Structure 1
Amino acid sequence: MDKIYLQMFSFGEFDPSLTREQICAAGDMGYDGVELFASNFEMPVDEMKALLEEKNLEAISLHTQTGKVEKMIPYAQALGMKYMGIAMEYIPDHESALAFAKTLNTLGKKCSEAGIMLTYHNHTQEFNVFDGEKVIETLIANTDPEFVGFELDAGWCSAAGEDTVAFINKHAGRIKLIHVKETDRVIGPEAPRNPADMKFDENGRPMISEEERRADEEKMKMDCPTGQGINDWNAIKAAADAQGCAAYIVEREYTYKGTRLDCLKEDIAYLRQNVK
Structure 2
Amino acid sequence: MKNRRSFLQQLGMLSAGFVLTPAAISCSSPEQRTDEATGIADASGEAVTGNTRATLDAIGLQLYTLREVIGSDVKGVIGKVARAGYRDVETYGYSKENGFWGLHPKAFRELLNANNLTSSSGHYDFGQYAATGNTDQVKTYIDAGRELGQDYITVPYLGEEVRKGADAYKAIAEKLNKAGELCQASNLQLAYHNHDFEFQRFGDTTGYDILLKETDPELVKFEADLYWFVRGAQDPLAYFRQHPGRFVMWHVKDMDKNTPILNTEIGSGSINYATIFEQAQQSGVERIFVEQENFTASMDPFESIKQSYDYVKETLLR
Q: TM-score normalized by structure 1?
A: 0.82
When residues 233 and 15 of structure 1 are mapped into structure 2, their CA distance, relative to the original with a 3 A threshold, is closer
> How far does the alpha carbon of each residue in 1:128-185 deviate from its partner, in whole angstroms, 9 at most, with x for none?
1113211111000000011100101001111111122332222211111000111246
Correspondence for 1:203: none
> How far apart, in 2, do the equivalents of 1:147 and 1:5 lie?
23
Contact 2:66 2:301 in 1 (8 A): yes
Give secondary structure in 1 for the equivalent of 2:234.
coil
Give the gaps of 5 or more residues in structure 2: 1-55, 95-99, 130-136
> How far apart, in 2, do the equivalents of 1:35 and 1:115 lie?
18
> How far apart, in 1, do the equivalents of 2:249 and 2:155 lie?
12
Correspondence for 1:231: 271
Superposed, 1:110-121 pairs within 5 Å as 110-121=182-193
When residues 236 and 86 of structure 1 are mapped into structure 2, their CA distance, relative to the original with a 3 A threshold, is farther
Contact 1:165 1:235 in 2 (8 A): no
Amino acid at match of 2:59: I
State the shift of 1:50 in Å.
0.9
Correspondence for 2:314: 273
> How far apart, in 2, do the equivalents of 1:6 and 1:15 lie?
13
Amino acid at match of 1:95: D
Contact 1:168 1:239 in 2 (8 A): no
Correspondence for 1:69: 138
Contact 1:165 1:239 in 2 (8 A): no
Superposed, 1:233-248 pairs within 5 Å as 233-234=273-274, 236-237=276-277, 242-248=282-288
Correspondence for 1:34: 89
State the shift of 1:65 in Å.
1.3
Contact 1:220 1:253 in 2 (8 A): no
When residues 111 and 236 of structure 1 are mapped into structure 2, their CA distance, relative to the original with a 3 A threshold, is farther
> How far apart, in 1, do the equivalents of 2:69 and 2:181 lie?
30
Contact 2:252 2:289 in 1 (8 A): yes
> How far apart, in 2, do the equivalents of 1:170 and 1:117 lie?
21
> How far apart, in 1, do the equivalents of 2:276 and 2:244 lie?
12
Which of residues 122, 144, 147 is equivalent to 2:216? 144
RMSD between aligned alpha carbons?
2.2
State the shift of 1:237 in Å.
4.2
Which of residues 274, 286, 302 is equivalent to 1:261? 302
> How far apart, in 1, do the equivalents of 2:223 and 2:191 lie?
6
> How far does the alpha carbon of each residue in 1:226-258 deviate from its partner, in whole angstroms, 9 at most, with x for none?
123332324544677743211000111111042
Relative contact order, CA 8 A, sep 6+: which one is greater?
A: 2
Q: TM-score normalized by structure 2?
A: 0.71
> How far does the alpha carbon of each residue in 1:67-124 deviate from its partner, in whole angstroms, 9 at most, with x for none?
3432111110012111110110131211110000000000011001111110111011
> How far does the alpha carbon of each residue in 1:31-69 deviate from its partner, in whole angstroms, 9 at most, with x for none?
011001116253112211111111111111000111343
Q: Tell me whether 66-75 or 85-94 shows the greater mean CA deviation.
A: 66-75
Give secondary structure in 2 for the equivalent of 1:85.
strand
Which of residues 283, 289, 310 is equivalent to 1:249? 289
Contact 2:253 2:265 in 1 (8 A): no
Amino acid at match of 2:272: D
State the shift of 1:14 in Å.
6.2
> How far apart, in 2, do the equivalents of 1:50 and 1:113 lie?
25
> How far does the alpha carbon of each residue in 1:9-47 deviate from its partner, in whole angstroms, 9 at most, with x for none?
001316634322221121111101100111625311221
Give the gaps of 5 or more residues in structure 1: 187-217
Amino acid at match of 1:182: D
When residues 231 and 170 of structure 1 are mapped into structure 2, their CA distance, relative to the original with a 3 A threshold, is farther
> How far apart, in 1, do the equivalents of 2:199 and 2:69 lie?
28
Correspondence for 2:196: 124
Which of residues 1, 4, 13 is equivalent to 2:68? 13
Contact 2:247 2:283 in 1 (8 A): yes
> How far apart, in 1, do the equivalents of 2:250 and 2:70 lie?
26
Amino acid at match of 1:63: H
> How far does the alpha carbon of each residue in 1:181-240 deviate from its partner, in whole angstroms, 9 at most, with x for none?
112469xxxxxxxxxxxxxxxxxxxxxxxxxxxxxxx7652x122123332324544677
When residues 162 and 227 of structure 1 are mapped into structure 2, their CA distance, relative to the original with a 3 A threshold, is same
Correspondence for 1:212: none
